[in-house]
Amino acid sequence: MELHEEQAEHVGPEFEPARQACREAVVDSPALHYLAHYSSGVFDFGVDVLGDPGPAPDALPGGTRREELKRLGRHLTFQVASLDRALQEVRTGRLIRTVLHTEEGALFCDSVVPTEHVVGLVLDHAGAGPLFGHPAVEEADRAVAGLATRLRAQLSLGSLNPGGWQSAAGVEPLPVERDVAAHVTVGEGPLTACLAAVRAQDLHLVAHVVGGEVRAMVDCLGDPSLAPFFRQVAVDARRRFYHGFVQELGAVATRLNRAVNPVVGGLMARLVLDVEMGAIYYYRLRAGEYLAGVTLDQSRVRAADDRMSALVDELTPIGP
């Protein structure tokens, strides 16, 4: 499909290396339908293979799908900045990758530097594959993460390893010297399944939330192998933060879903907030009910996501 490009009036030759990298990302990844670059929430340029015709000469401004996507990207970069500020309390680093996965598509927002983001989109994957590991979504996710890394290289900056893909293959087992019982903060709901899912190797905390109330929350944050992650924040302090944050995560997903749905379609099924040290996961079970998970280890972001997906499959209600 033909490549379509547009740019804002303020964009000059200094953006050309970034534009070229975006072009190459779209060309190299058939799953990726749209890419846009933002600076401080302002649209700089976009590349897509949507196949939409250009606006008619007498068309009102702002009515095309590309205009909707530009507004959505701007909104998303501001939401990401707000979430980044909230997550600073637990000192796990900046929010570097956000995945908004709906029933019909997925949107990605990856950070290059704090004021620079790339937003990517994959459409029309409904009914073809699982949430975690969905072929088209994963391909597009990798493409946006790789692009963010290449744009950092243009600034002589190293990779933030978004998605944990660069280090996933060479992950060494953690030096677990002895089994430590998981800590139970709240022990209702599917406690047994949550306890079985949590482990020091990857998925460090799981919570089950219904109607805005945490029904179950278990973690292995106190495992000795995770001690290096707590040099700045004590285990109990981080545990209290996550209890409050996962309780609000449903409202965050709902707010993001309202913005994404008109363009992407479908309900928010999976949300990933990937920080420099790990990630936070949201998986919808049904209306008002979801699972939240946390890993603290960036090299294990994918493994923890996979473990969350398996737990969701186990707990997903059968029938309508």
Per the model's pLDDT, the better-predicted residue between 165 and 234 turns out to be: 234
pLDDT at 310 over 70: yes
Three-state secondary-structure class, residue 85? helix
Domain 168-315 in CATH 3.40.50.1820? The answer is no
The reported pLDDT for the residue numbered 181 is: 80
DSSP 245-298: HHHHHHHHHHHHHHHHHHHH-S-EEEEEEEETTEEEEEEEEETTEEEEEEE--G
Query: What is the CATH code for 4-167?
Result: 3.30.450.30
The reported pLDDT for the residue numbered 320 is: 45
The reported pLDDT for the residue numbered 131 is: 76
Min mean pLDDT across 23-32, 167-176, 225-234, 261-270 is at: 167-176
Q: What is the mean pLDDT of residues 74-81?
A: 95
Dump pLDDT digits (tens) for 92-150. Answer: 999 999 999 998 999 999 999 999 999 999 987 655 556 788 888 999 999 999 999 99
State how far the Cα of 215 lies from the Cα of 300, in Å rounded to an integer. Answer: 26
The reported pLDDT for the residue numbered 65 is: 87
Question: Nearest 5°: phi and psi at 53?
Answer: -70, 160
Q: What is the pTM of this model?
A: 0.93
Instruction: Look at the alpha carbons of 165, 169, 170, 173 in this order and tell me if their dihedral is positive or negative.
Output: positive
Do domains 4-167 and 168-315 share one topology? The answer is yes
Dump pLDDT digits (tens) for 226-238. Answer: 999 999 999 999 9
Dump pLDDT digits (tens) for 260-283. Answer: 999 888 899 999 999 999 999 999
The reported pLDDT for the residue numbered 232 is: 92
| Residue 91: closest CA among 318, 310, 319, 296 | 296
> What single letter denotes the amino acid at residue 233?
V
